[in-house]
Structure 1
Amino acid sequence: MTANTIHETAIVAPEAKIGTGVEIGPFCVVGPNAILHDRVRLVSHATVAGFTEIGEDCVLYPGVHLGHPPQDFKFQGEETWLVLGQRNIMREGVTMHPGTAFDKARTVVGNDCYFMAGSHIAHDCIIGDRVVLANGAQIAGSSSIGDHVIFGGLSGVVQKTRVGRHAFIGAMTKVAADVIPYGSVNGNDAHLVGLNVVGLKRRGMPRDALRDLRAAYRLLFAEEGTFQERLSDASELYSDNEHVMEIIGFIRASSNRALVMPNA
């Protein structure tokens, strides 16, 4: 069993639950309702407040603040949670807030994510695995972000937005509508510029699957017919392609939400 290392200037509440091999550096503060699993590392000047659970092997760099009350006027101090998975890296100045009783009552972050300096996760968000937020990227409350999504620097997502798996959000992009899985978006307001082909190739998507995905994308966002007609056509033509059907399922799952579309 590896001993914990707690700097003499750190303040750790006796009630906090601390795993083994945890490192808490200078001037860190860990509150009474915090849970730090094995090998969590707080480099220095980091704060873990509220009902916050941090998974194994996460690293908090200086100025990271997790679990302070959400920036929601309806919040009245009720018990709500911020839960992080394993091996997440939070660079300088990252902030994340717990949920609210009016929504999910918890904010959940997956595994193996990388949050660069000054990025922010708001209340009641659900963040998948291997998500990357570049410097200053901001995710507003009650948003849902799929696995492997990458956000460029200073990009922003408005509240209650869905971003599908493997999407790419360009730097300084304002996302005010849902982004399909595998989509690549840019601009203010955001518009689709195609598929995240570079990312998909890097992650080993087979050439045949990528070819069909690109063909389905062209069909879905063509000018002929209505969008619902094109959606039905793509569903019939590519029913055996799980990636295309993921896009179609994503679109159909929330018919009352606008989608980020290509520029006319």
Structure 2
Amino acid sequence: MNQPLAYVHPGAKIAKNVVIEPFTTIHNNVEIGEGTWIGSNVTIMEGARIGKNVSIFPGAVISAVPQDKKFEDEDTITEIGDNTTIRECVTINRGTSDKMKTKVGKNCWIMAYCHIAHDCIVGDNCVFSNNSTLAGHIVVGDYAVLAGMAAVQQFCSIGRHAFITGGSLVRKDVPPFVKAGREPLSYVGINSVGLRRRGFDTDKIREIQNIYRILYQKNYNNSQAVSIIEAEMEATPERDEILQFIKDSQRGIMKGYFSN
């Protein structure tokens, strides 16, 4: 589209029905898919790959160079999936030589003032409430929810369907299907409300709950709990996903419920 009050670099690849509001700047080496709306005063920098039907609100900066002193201007990208909404003043940095990209999946809702740093991989259908912050190299599974002002330390992983309460400081990996809260961050139950909303039935929710009772409420260490879960719990996709997450954890998983 011809936007006399916006700057679009001639090298940018913009689908025909993209709407670009005034005072927005789109740099070279940018691709934007059909049906996307870009509000006023947005800056989209080199390496952005934005999907279809994305909404980007005023003040957002997409694909700026990483805030990483080791970055040496590698040819990296930022991917934004279809149907994702990025609200006001969100910042998403492009990747470094670690993963060569930062990625936000499809159908995500990234609320105002969130920051997603370099080399983060965010799954589909995630919700980040206002001022949530991801440091670099973080992996977030599908349907994860970060409530307002949650801050996640670099190299952490957050499992699918996890819910992290507002103001939380995430220093360890958060397994799938759980609610995490308190300080230090701890297991406070499974995300039963979110799971019901997404079609998990009562028996499946009970199965997940029983797995986490063994892991977090029986005074076993992680190795003991994993062995018991493998021996006593029927193999299901959810059981195996939880076990694999624990085995793959590099930072270690968050602790169990703290009473004080």
- Asked if 1:262 is matched to 2:256, the reply is yes
Corresponding position of 1:148: 143
Q: How many percent of aligned residue pairs carry the same amino acid?
A: 34
Aligned letter for 2:30?
A: A
Corresponding position of 1:131: 126
Of 14-23 and 215-224, more deviation after overlay is shown by: 215-224
Deviations 1:125-165 (A, max 9, x none): 00000011000000110000000000000001000000000
- Asked if 1:78 is matched to 2:74, the reply is yes
Question: How many residues were matched structurally?
Answer: 258
- Asked if 1:245 is matched to 2:245, the reply is no
Corresponding position of 1:29: 25
In the alignment, structure 1 segments of 5+ residues that lack a partner are: none
| Residue 26 of structure 1, CA deviation | 0.8
Aligned letter for 1:10?
A: A
Q: Report the aligned-residue RMSD.
A: 1.2
The 2-side partners of 1:119 and 1:125 are apart by 13
CA contact (8 A) 2:155 2:251 kept: no
CA contact (8 A) 1:117 1:135 kept: yes
- Asked if 1:220 is matched to 2:186, the reply is no
SS at match of 1:212: helix
The 2-side partners of 1:263 and 1:63 are apart by 39
The 2-side partners of 1:143 and 1:233 are apart by 29
Corresponding position of 2:109: 114
The 1-side partners of 2:216 and 2:251 are apart by 17
Instruction: Normalising by structure 1, report the TM-score.
Output: 0.94
The 2-side partners of 1:191 and 1:226 are apart by 15
Aligned letter for 1:260?
A: M
Structure 2 residue corresponding to 1:174, chosen from 169, 182, 186: 169
Spell out the pairing of 1:1-40 with structure 2 (5 A cutoff).
Answer: 4=1, 6-40=2-36
After superposition, the Cα gap between the structure-2 partners of 1:223 and 1:51, relative to the gap in structure 1 and judged at 3 Å, is same
CA contact (8 A) 1:98 1:106 kept: yes
The 2-side partners of 1:228 and 1:201 are apart by 30
After superposition, the Cα gap between the structure-2 partners of 1:115 and 1:223, relative to the gap in structure 1 and judged at 3 Å, is same
Query: Which structure 1 residue ranges, 4+ long, deviate > 6 Å from structure 2?
Result: none
CA contact (8 A) 1:170 1:184 kept: yes
Deviations 1:8-44 (A, max 9, x none): 2100001101112100001000001111111111011
Structure 1 residue corresponding to 2:231, chosen from 223, 233, 236: 236
In the alignment, structure 2 segments of 5+ residues that lack a partner are: none
CA contact (8 A) 2:216 2:257 kept: no
Aligned letter for 1:80?
A: T
